[in-house]
Structure 1
Amino acid sequence: MKNFTTLTMLAGLATAGIFAVPAAAQEVTEDRPFSGVYIGAAGGYDVQPNDVGSSILFDRNGDGNFNENVNTITGANAFSPGFCNGSARTGAAAYGCRNDDDGWAYYGRAGFDAQRGNIVVGVVGEFGKTDITDSTSGFSTTPASYTMARKVDWEASVRGRAGYAVNTTLFYGTFGAGYAKIDNLFFTTNTANAFAATGSKNQWGILGGGGIEQKLTKNISIGMEYMFHQYQDNDARVRVTAGQTLAGSPVLLANNPFLIAPNTSGTSFRRSDDYLRWHSLRGTVSFRF
């Protein structure tokens, strides 16, 4: 609810700014005010909703299928304390998880539009960064916590744009392809085992949304825009093996849930949610040549 309240407040402020334009904007009288090449910037607030029901999946026998439990030597589920959306506060499940991080975003952009009558079509490219973080955590009976997180290092996109212009105001929709560098992170309070996690990877995705653009002068316009981002990110892995403490103690090694015979080589983790998604509400400013 807090996330949507933030977006609603920002939307209201941005809408007020669009329509409370100075009188000079009404003096822009070109026949095709939205035709031509432009450069600009976009910045605003991004919301990464918690993925309800997300968890961590396990592959105990190394067959590539993440559909097995991690059990103790007595056969009990070692992750019976459960999972939560976000990053674990401590190693104990009772303290729960912090919510995923929302954050500010900023982009540079360039594009080209062609206007015929009231119809405007074009293409826009962007490059920038967002500060969101998407995490999920699991708790073992040790007790210990295990958090898999991902952040966006940078994002680029190329999108089509189509809209309807009313004098010097343009209403438009936009859709296209994105390409982002996603950093995969892992944190745990388990100090006995050794953990090897995958790092960064570039991923393809899609973006879609819409907005309003208002000409202020012949060359300058401002706007408000909503965007939805989605990237498939389902190949991050964590490999758990014996650390030095376990390797030096046959008793501890034989009783470790991640290494119990006959699969003594270790256990692999992956997230249950395959997609990184977030919402953006940002203001825009453009200079048309």
Structure 2
Amino acid sequence: MKLGYFVPVGTIALFALATPALAQDDAGSPDWTGPYVGGSLGYNWQPNNTANDVEQLYFDTDGDGSYGDIVRTGTGGNAFAPGMCDGKATSATTCSSGDREGKAAWSVMAGYDRQFGNIVIGGVLEGGQSYGSNYVTGFSTTPASYTMVRKLDWEAAARLRAGYAINRTLIYATGGLAYGKFKNDFLTSNTANNFAQNNRTEDDWGYTVGGGIDQKISDNFSIGLLYRYTRFNPNDYSVTVTQGSAPATNPFVNPATTVGQTVIGRSNEQYTTQSVRVTAAFRF
């Protein structure tokens, strides 16, 4: 699904929740100014966007640090002629139908808001875990499968908020800097070559944007609904393939077509997530 689908749906949901509040009288509106602490719990998923749909394994066989080389068989053919798959290998020749997983996500947060009339401006720091992951698999003519797994483990964000308060309801937009800690893994049915993983743990900075609604249910407590779109570009992970027990003519190490090893990477460094979360905060 495209990002454009989720944004309208999220917007409709937010304004639907806000409709009862818009009809309320402004008399006795509470002041949103002050610090708060709280947390969120919800669902995190990856959109089916074009960039992810064309992802494949990339190879560096000549040691120049650039990907895009072809791993050649002994007869000069493409050793990965069977193709690629956006998913996790289920056998040496097949894989699952999609590479994206949606899972639970949680965070803790602390922030400060200041109200000017009906306008509320503030900032929030948050951090927690998002359990999403994605896969890309290549198939060789051996046959054998080679799967790269990227998992977003921990994430944090520093966001600004700007919104409009009506009585006990605050409708806001938000955006800022995002940090993600990724864990990578490599799975293969090839038992002959040796595979060394480089930079299995990655840190990356990205951005996050979204919007939400907060509703005060008392002077010191609020609940809400938050939508966020977040993008990272982790690109340090790779796998170096050496001979192992394979013959010297093995496509990954053949001295006629390689520098004695092959480095495997991912063609697409983009990692995007969307999330919808319920929030709760204690306001001082």
Calculate the TM-score normalised by the size of structure 1.
0.87
4+ runs deviating over 4 angstroms? 3-21, 26-32, 95-98
Could you tell me how far 1:253 is from its partner in structure 2?
Answer: 2.1
Contact 2:30 2:219 in 1 (8 A): no
- 3-state DSSP class of the match of 2:248? helix
Write out per-residue CA displacement over residues 49-105 of structure 1, whole angstroms, 9 at most, x where no aligned residue.
341110010000000110111110101111111111121111113x55454221000
Within 5 Å, give how 1:259-278 maps onto structure 2.
259-262=253-256, 263-278=258-273
What's the offset of the Cα at 1:234? 1.4
Alignment of 1:136-155 (within 5 A): 136-155=136-155
Cα deviation, residue 168, structure 1: 1.2
Per the alignment, residue 217 of structure 1 pairs with: 218
CA contact (8 A) 2:86 2:137 kept: yes
Corresponding letter in the other structure for 2:161: R
Given the alignment of the two structures, is residue 166 of structure 1 paired with residue 173 of structure 2, yes or no?
no
- How many angstroms does 1:265 deviate by? 1.8
1:57 aligns with 2:58: yes
> Judging changes above 3 Å, is the alpha-carbon distance between structure 1 residues 131 and 6 closer, same or farther for their aligned structure 2 residues?
farther
Letter of the 2:254 counterpart: I
Question: 2:278: which partner in 1?
Answer: 283
Q: For residue 189 of structure 2, what is the amino acid of its counterpart?
A: T
Quote the Cα distance in structure 2 between the aligned partners of 1:208 and 1:28.
29
**2:68 alignment counterpart:** 67
Q: Is the 8 A contact 1:193 1:241 kept in 2?
A: yes
CA–CA distance in structure 1, aligned partners of residues 28 and 74 of structure 2: 78
> Offset at 1:261?
1.7
Shift of 1:184: 1.3
* Cα displacement (A) at 1:286: 0.9
Aligned residue identity for 1:281: V
Query: 1: CA distance between counterparts of 2:275 and 2:138?
Result: 28
Q: Distance in 2 between matches of 1:105 and 1:18?
A: 24
**What amino acid is aligned across from residue 144 of structure 2 in structure 1?**
A
Structure 1 window deviating more from structure 2 (6-15 vs 36-45): it is: 6-15
Tell me the distance in 1 between the aligned counterparts of 2:44 and 2:125.
Answer: 19
Deviations 1:111-147 (A, max 9, x none): 0000010100000010100110111111111111111
Shift of 1:33: 2.5
| Aligned residues with identical type, % of pairs | 41
List per-residue Cα deviations over 1:14-39 (Å, max 9, x = no partner): 88777789xxxx89965553111001
Of 45-54 and 207-216, deviating more is: 45-54
Q: Partners in 1 of 2:96 and 2:83 — Cα distance?
A: 10
Tell me the equivalent position of 1:249.
none
* Greater helix content: 1
Deviations 1:214-266 (A, max 9, x none): 111111111111101111111211100011x22xxxxx222x11011232521
When the two structures are aligned, how many residues end up with a matched partner? 277
CA 1:14–1:43: 2 relative to 1, 3 Å = farther
Structure 1 residues not aligned, in runs of 5+: 247-251
| Distance 1:19-1:90 versus aligned 2 partners, 3 A rule | farther
- The verdict on how the C-alpha distance between 1:190 and 1:155 changes in structure 2, with shifts beyond 3 A counting, is same
Cα gap change, 1:209/1:14 in structure 2, threshold over 3 Å: closer, same or farther? closer
Q: Compute the TM-score of the two structures, normalised by the length of structure 2.
A: 0.88
